[in-house]
Amino acid sequence: MRLILPPRLTASARTLRDTARRRGLRITQLPDGTVPGELLGGDAHLHAGPSFADAVAPALGILPLEAPTDWLARLPTAYVRREIRAMPIREAYGLRRPVFVKSPNDKSIPALVYADGSRLPGPDAVAPETVVLVSDVVTFDAEYRLYMLDGQVHTGSRYATSGRLDLAPLSPAAHAFGSDLLAAAGHTLPSAIVVDVGTTDTGQWAVVEANAAWASGCYVSDPDRALDVVLRAAGPAAQLAERDAAFVR
Contact 101, 208 (CB under 8 A): no
Residues 116-172: pLDDT tens digits? 999 999 999 999 999 999 999 999 999 999 999 999 999 999 999 999 999 999 999
Q: For the sheet containing 192-200, what is the strand order?
A: 164-169, 152-161, 140-149, 192-200, 205-211
pLDDT at 51: 94
Whether residue 41 has pLDDT greater than 80: no
pLDDT at 52: 96
pLDDT at 115: 96
Mean pLDDT of 200-211: 96
Closest CA to 220 of 180, 171, 173, 186: 171
Band (107; pLDDT cuts 50, 70, 90)? confident
Which amino acid, 90?
R
CA angle 17, 190, 248 (to 5 degrees): 80
pLDDT at 21: 98
Whether residue 105 has pLDDT greater than 90: no
Closest CA to 69 of 13, 129, 125: 129
Q: State how far the Cα of 221 lies from the Cα of 36, in Å rounded to an integer.
A: 32
Task: State whether residue 169 is helix, strand or coil.
Answer: strand
Mean pLDDT of 112-119: 95
Look over the chain and give the mean of its residue pLDDT values, rounded to a whole number. Answer: 96
Contact 70, 131 (CB under 8 A): yes
Closest CA to 239 of 22, 45, 27, 32: 45
